[in-house]
Amino acid sequence: MVWCDSNPNVLEWKSEEIVIPYVSPIDSRVHRYFPDFYVGVRTKTGGTEKFIIEIKPLKQTTPPQKQQRRTKRYITEVMTYAVNDAKWRAATEYCKDRKWQFKILTEKELKI
């Protein structure tokens, strides 16, 4: 994260150090989610904001299109999205409790 190290408005950052419990819709058990980044930044007004950031391919951020045939690939995509959605809902609540923001970045936002 060269950008975080070189940006003077980034006050602190960590990679995969925050643990957020979530219930998986696959097995109904509690699992641990390690978001990609925690970033604390200075705002234009001089205040601070804190973010939890997850980086994912755009394809994994939207539910798969329903298909007539339930192929192995389709089932995997549905399960992946369901688990990601459970993680993201837990992260949103975690951030809300702390007055932080949860952001999902894809190749679209990163301009890759």
* pLDDT tens-digit readout, 67-84: 888 889 999 999 999 999
- Residue pLDDT, tens place only, 90-101: 999 999 999 999
Task: Report which DSSP code applies to 61.
Answer: G
- Residue-level pLDDT at 111: 81
Residues 6+ away with beta carbon under 8 Å from 43: 49
Are β-strands 48-55 and 101-105 bridged in parallel, bridged antiparallel, or unpaired?
A: parallel
Q: Which domains does the chain have, with CATH numbers?
A: 2-22+29-107 (3.40.1350.10)
Which token pair is 98? Answer: 């702390």
Tell me which residue of 88, 24, 99, 18 sits closest to 55, measured CA to CA.
88
pLDDT at 5 over 80: yes
Q: Which of 79, 46, 41, 40 is nearest to 63 (CA)?
A: 79
